[in-house]
Amino acid sequence: MIDPSLDSVITAEPAGGIARPPGLVQALQALERGVLSAAAIEQLYDDAVRETQLLHAGAPHEQVSKQHAQSSRMTQILERSLNEIYLFDQGSLRFAYANTGALANLGYDLPALMQITAIDLLPEYNRTSFDRLVEPLLDGSTELLIFETILRRNDESVYNVQVHLQRDKDQTEPLFMALVLDITERRRAERVIWRQANFDALTHLPNRSMLQDRLTQEMLRADRSGNKIALLFIDIDRFKEVNDALGHDIGDRLLVAAAQRIRECVRASDTVARMGGDEFVVLLAQLPDSMLASGLAQGMLDALRLPFDIDGQQVVVSGSIGVTLYPDDARDGDGLLKNADQAMYVSKARGRNQYSYFTRELEVSAQRRAALVGQLRTALKLGQLVLYFQPIIDMQTRRICKAEALIRWQHPELGLVSPAEFIPLAEDSGLINTIGDWVFAEAVRWAKRWREGWIPDFQISINKSPAQFTFNRTDAQNWARHLDHMDLPGSSVILEITEGMLVDPNSNVSETLLACRDAGIQVAIDDFGTGYSALSYLKRFDIDYLKIDRSFTRNLAAGGSDLALSEAIIAMAQALDLQVVAEGVETEAQFDLLSRAGCHFAQGYLLSHPVPPEEFE
């Protein structure tokens, strides 16, 4: 644009009767808008020529002075323009003129600039390519050529410009006239916008859009080379629990640290992208052997399993990974992403911290899973969820003293749906909290009925999902209030949790366990012996029961290792003043071995399958 102070120069009428050439004001206003007008530049030459002609013709001094004043005004406008203006010879491309703004930006003085050519300032062009560029001007197919490039300064630095180029073919020696706009800031803003559109702001990884673009390119390369592509869909296990318990700031830092670990596991040619939330995708390109994906996937699992130190806070998570291959499993990006996502859910369903490959059978399973999630949302309202109860007996008296509440889904079309199938869906969809609250209330209702009409000290054992147990810091207080409302003591309920929750650094776990202890609610460690709990945690949280996992009781035999392990668990529990429940007891021989070892309670098909409450009575 032209300096605003020059408005008066542009609009002022020349004095002394020398008429301003027609169209000059419009030409100057066009120049002010940043569009080069040939008329504006040509007028400089016309004025200079006219001044010379007047001098040679012996014109009166007053007329020559007025013509000189008009030329000076035009020169002042160009010199004070905030844009760069150049004139250079059409044949040699040597500069004939550059305004002050151009010289200042380039770092040249005018004599030095006139010793070089336009090609010297245009590193993206040579004479041949420049001639091709300006051919439309030379053949008359256009009068104005606009293009973007870079200019090279005297110090060899470069900057982005937009060039408006015209040709003055009326001069004796034809000239190119260029108005050059510095677009460095615009390009910088464009780069910022482009990065925001293609990269994740938190982790600085490529986002879904960039991944899709790279995936498309890599599929084309794979088609040419015959190599394979592996797409890995990674979900951070139990990330929501970390967010809920430790806050979003810790959660965000965990995601950044996890992204860094994943990047360190792959090759420089691979792409790690964040899809959103706690989901990442890794694009492994140009794989001569698809088994390479297995090794890289295992490396990522190992890296994610190591504790994270976030501002002194130890955070332990893991990863579930789904793997799909191109072109084996799908021929397009959307299909590959869908396949990898389905395989990832298989890893979650199998217990997390593992990777699974996509198979065609997964498509059917995924469709069923999606349908079940939708139906599960209404199952509770429609009364399709029910509780079954499996008796737990005193091994000395063989009398029922407790029962474990087990949820079942009575689907109108599928019949009984296993909790092993729908509980993971409830956890992933966020329905587990609503379902867990219903299970607690329903189990307590039956506990009250059986304590009042059958066994006064009867206890109901209720499983608590880690997702629910860590979700809300007030859960234990809510449970205690509900028991009080039902006029039941805390000891009427046993909460079953997994070993891993004892050593979870999540402070909400500790607070909930301690609140349960204060409310008199008892706690059992389910599947004991399959995890990694420490004895100190058993005492710290006043654990009441250990449940020997069915994997030990299944193969019990005199002199066998499973019996030795079971006896060790029982002896340890007795030393810590804990009671032991043996799960999965199916034979009298198993019952006798456990009873002689000092086990307190038994549960299993030998005694009863899980049954509806009416049958339990």
Topology of domain 4-187 in CATH is Beta-Lactamase (3.30.450)
What pLDDT sits at residue 474?
Answer: 63
Token readout for 61 is: 């001094």
H or E segment and range at residue 8: helix 7-11
**For residue 288, cis peptide bond before it (omega within 30 degrees of 0):** no
Global pTM?
Answer: 0.54
pLDDT score of 562:
87
What's the gap between Cα 91 and its chain centre?
56
Asked if 284 and 232 count as a contact pair (C-beta separation under 8 A), the reply is: yes
User: Is the CB of residue 566 less than 8 Å from the CB of residue 553?
Assistant: yes
Structure tokens at 348: 């979650």
Averaged pLDDT, groups of 10, the chain, 617 residues long: 39 39 42 47 48 45 46 53 86 93 94 96 97 94 95 96 87 84 92 92 95 96 94 94 83 96 95 96 92 94 94 90 95 94 89 92 80 90 95 96 96 90 86 92 97 95 79 74 95 89 67 87 84 65 90 86 91 93 96 96 96 92
Q: Would you state the pLDDT for residue 598?
A: 96
8 A C-beta contact, residue 233 and residue 341:
yes
Strands of the sheet with 95-98, listed across from one edge: 95-98, 84-89, 175-182, 158-168, 145-152
* Residue 398 in tokens: 């063989």
- Dist CA 12 CA 155 (whole Å): 40
**Which residue's structure tokens are 């859009």?**
209
Backbone φ and ψ of 363, nearest 5° = -60, -45
DSSP 51-115: HHHHHHTT--HHHHHHHHHHHHHHHHHHHTBSSEEEEEETTT-BEEEE-HHHHHHHT--HHHHTT
Domain with CATH 3.30.450.20 in the chain: 4-187
Q: How many CA atoms lie within 13 A of 587 on its CB side?
A: 8
- Per DSSP, the chain holds a count of helices (H) and strands (E) of 26, 21
Helix (H) or strand (E) holding 509: helix 507-519
The angle subtended at Cα 410 by Cα 614 and Cα 343, nearest 5°, is 140
Burial label, 335 (beta-carbon count in 10 A; 0-12, 13-18, 19+): middle
Exposed/middle/buried for 282, CB within 10 Å: 0-12, 13-18, 19+?
A: buried
In a 13 Å sphere around the CA of 479, the CA atoms on its Cβ side amount to 33
What fold characterizes domain 199-358? Alpha-Beta Plaits (3.30.70)
The CATH superfamily holding the domain 377-616 is EAL domain (3.20.20.450)
* Torsion sign across C-alpha atoms 70, 75, 78, 80: negative
CATH 3.30.70.270 domain locations along the chain: 199-358
Sign for the pseudo-dihedral over CA of 214, 220, 221, 227: positive
For the chain, give every residue range classified as CATH 3.20.20.450: 377-616
Vertex 502 angle, CA 496 and 505, to 5° = 135
Question: What's residue 7's pLDDT?
Answer: 42
CA distance 346 to 5: 72
490 secondary structure, DSSP code: G
Q: Check residue 77 and give its pLDDT.
A: 54
**Strand blocks (E) in 492-597:** 493-498, 522-528, 545-548, 579-582
